[in-house]
A and B are shown apart, each in its own frame.
Chain A
Amino acid sequence: MRITVNGTPREVSARPDTPLLWVLRDELGMTGTKFGCGAGLCGACTVQVNGVAQRSCQMALGDVGSAQITTIEGIGTPEKLSVLQTVWVEHQVAQCGYCQSGQIMQAAALLATTPRPTDTEIDDAMSGNLCRCGTYPRIRAAIHDAAQRLQKV
């Protein structure tokens, strides 16, 4: 089966009912996308499917088809951070960091559709992304900051 991840076509051999999460992590070795609950409850596995934030633990490989999958590895690298990642660094958001790939992918999808989100819009978009370290206040501040910066670009 062939899927497109971060713009690159990839050949994968997992069964069609395998959740995309495990295809990314175990077959393709793309470990930036995290396993937290396997049940759509925590958001750690969030990726974008055609730009929309989705839980990769809830999406079967067979349903991916020709959709464009974007993972955390696809939005920036340590050498070339995206605006959102730069802001995340400036706000020193991450603690353990385990939830952060999912938080950033969710936030990026939010800003793509809602360039100047209100607190309530941020809450609505981010409420499915659990952070056991409690980095929420800095996530919120970082999203507001990123929104401003992206508008100036």
Chain B
Amino acid sequence: MSRLGTITRRSFLVVSAAVAGGVAFGYYKYQQDPANPLTAAAGETVFNPWVIVRADGVTVITPRAEMGQGIHTTLAALVAEEMDLNWDQVRAEHGPASSAYANLAVAGAGLPFADYRDSRMKTLAHEAMDVMGKFIGAEATGGSTSTVDAFTRMRKAGAAARAVLVQAAAARLKTDASKLHTEGGAVIAPEGTRIPYADLATDAAKLTPPADPVLKDPKAWKLLGTSLPRLDMVAKVTGTAGFGIDTRLPGMLFASVRATPRLGGTMQSFDATEAKAMPGVKAVVDLGDAVAVAATNTWIAFKALETLKITWGPAPYPETTDAIFAEIAKAFDGAPNSTLRDDGDVYKAVAATKPIRAEYRVPYLAHATMEPMNATALFADGTLTIWAPNQAPTVVRDKCAEAVGIAADKVTVHTTFLGGGFGRRAEFDYAVQAAKLAKALPGTPVLLTWTREEDMRHDFYRPGAIARMEGAADASGPTAFKAAIAVPSVYANQAKRILGMAPPGPDKIAVEGAFDQPYAIPNYRVSGHISPVAVPVGSWRSVGNSHNAFFHECFLDELAHAAGLDPVQMRLKLMATESPVSAKVVAAVAEMSGWGSPLPAGHARGLAFTYSFGTPTAEVIEISQSAAGIKLEKMWIAQDMGQALDPRNIEAQMISGAIYGLSAAMMGEITFSKGEVEQANFNDYDALRMQQMPVFETRILQNGAHLSGVGEPATPPAAPALANAIFALTGKRLRELPLNNAVTFA
């Protein structure tokens, strides 16, 4: 087992068992920062793991996957703000895979507490997890945590660099540091002498930076809080941004791969006679559970794969969609894995009334990133170099090392731009395939690209899930709300893949978006039932929230309707004491959308709210009945991320998240037959197109006490808002996704 695996085994036990014990365990040792992985090249000065001063500006290491969310820009701005740089002096680079860049917030996000309740317990637990994050050393992008994690650390890195630059200038000018100020990438003396950072960098690097530099008062911010031009924008409109698939190296071969369509099954045999005889084919390589073809171009590799005759073993899960869901439903029979919310006595409350009962269901979903899975690898002289669009470079490094049988420190991982991630690229399967292939072709760099069909059929899917809901409401609001959710565990799946074991304990992700919502319902119970169905599942933008928000918010709408309550007023009342910040978000979206005001005939609105990743988000969608089907007219999104570092970029994420949620709600469905995924390409797994766009209006609120993430929280409310609107329009309560199985969309 890898180094990563053995260490994390213990830290994960902390999550499930004694949190307080976890603080003591390893706390002192891991308070120290890991070594700086950067080495300075000629003409550069490295200050800390985040700041490189060059003659023409400052390069900020932004060690999170740039998959569209604009994170390189925001992270670079954190450093640039404290260093008083002009925006055109700033560059961003992803940097190497290193535990110095561990995402401390992503570990904390797994804790089984409702986020909106900021308790002492939670704070303690988060502190423990911060240490654990460093301990695990996982450099990862996910859980909408990148900015949260970096907010203090990267500003401090900038402030510390600035402090030693000022100190170096003071020494040179033989004056006191307090007399100097900084501006535009230079230290400036009272009489106007201006020394650029580049001139001071060598001297400054010899000084010891302050351990706890003072940060600027946010009121003095010049960059943060404004809409900055993204650092990657020009490259992305000129075709010059380097995605993984664009990696080009001298003498490289182009490859593709065919793995078992019965996911997790075996490869029994294959015949490559025809492929080997094809002009341009350079190698056919048995990867154990897949076959790869390396050729002089990607298309030849694709064509050669089509000629292979492969015998696959059976799938380790039921063969059809129906059988898989029957298996998931069996999880209801056993004791719940978690009951993370159990307020009042829901059984008594339900027994006292005539409850409403409903069963909801959502399908498996693919990520379908625009850039198909790919990775480039070069194995030479016992070392491995990987170029991969990925969300977890340290995991890629360790898993590739393991796969080719070398030490992790012999592996270099270059993280390219990602043509979409959405959680899919938190996995490492494509990189390991490239690594194994490269080992068979020592000295030759090889770019392994999946066909779209391979990508669609070899995902780590958003799991299918079933919810059994029971509840009651009267004129005062919901009196009982009971949700039992059966779902395969993303958490256990990922832990098994990464660590080799699944930690015991409550699976928060399975019930997030349902148990942790800020509603003061007197009798309120949410339990999770984990299904062992072996279809590979993984993180899909907003993870558990993506299905639970649909269950929770649609059923709440059912209760409102049954009791004749207005969905907005009902929520405002339930939130008033639980989370005033959330109530303001709902009030904002109601005001923006003119909630309650008359609509033209054939129009209707739907509302949903989700508190996820620390960010309350409310959405209203207006739809209409047209001759061609249901048309999306307008969508309003209100969101509170505590502090808006880059409003224009946040707006892009709000709209992007909602569209991703709408696409899945309307038409996203992965089904199985004979143990194989039936969908293959964008003809049978499509997404919203331009002509289906509603008009969007967004509002950013900043009442939250803490900065929180924005990459995912707009996704969960989209499906329930739409389903609730369809109910308002047609009287049909749709409890299964995708909605286009029941209605036609224009």
A-side residues, CB < 8 A to B, are 14-15, 18-19, 21-23, 25-27, 29, 31-39, 41-42, 44, 71-73, 76-78, 81, 85, 88-89, 92-101, 104, 122-124, 126-140
Contacts and interface: CB of A to CB of B under 8 A. Distances in A.
17 contacts: A14-B299, A35-B449, A36-B452, A37-B452, A73-B240, A78-B240, A85-B237, A96-B66, A96-B370, A96-B417, A97-B243, A97-B417, A98-B243, A104-B237, A126-B691, A132-B420, A134-B688
Nearest to B242: A31
B540 to A, nearest CB: 12
B372 A81 contact: no
Contacts of A88: 233, 237
B35 interface: no
Interface of B: 66-70, 227, 229-230, 232-243, 245-246, 248, 254, 279-280, 296-300, 302, 368-372, 417-422, 449, 451-452, 648-649, 652, 655-656, 658-660, 663, 681-683, 686-691, 693, 695-696
**Most B C-beta atoms less than 10 A away, residue of A100, A124, A133:** A133
Contacts, number: 186
A88 to B, nearest CB: 4
Task: List 4 tightest A-B contacts by C-beta distance, closest first.
Answer: A32-B239, A98-B419, A97-B236, A134-B659
B291 to A, nearest CB: 19
B420 A72 contact: no
A135 B655 CA distance: 8
B254 A38 contact: no
A98 B452 CA distance: 14
A133 B604 CA distance: 27
Contact of A134 (B299, B419, B660, B686): B660
Contacts of A41: 681-683
A39 B239 contact: no
Contact of B370 (A92, A133, A137): A133
B682 A123 contact: no
Contact of A95 (B235, B242, B245, B652): B652
B77 to A, nearest CB: 14
Given A26-B297, A31-B248, A78 B370 contact: no
A137 B297 contact: no
Given A22-B299, A85-B238, A129-B690, A96 B229 contact: no
B370 A44 contact: yes
B690 A133 contact: no
Contacts of A128: 689
Nearest to A13: B296
Contact of A99 (B370, B655, B683, B696): B370
Given A18-B299, A33-B239, A92 B690 contact: no
A96 B67 contact: yes
**Most B C-beta atoms less than 10 A away, residue of A23, A32, A72, A94:** A94
A94 B297 contact: no
A131 B652 CA distance: 13
Contacts of B248: 29, 31
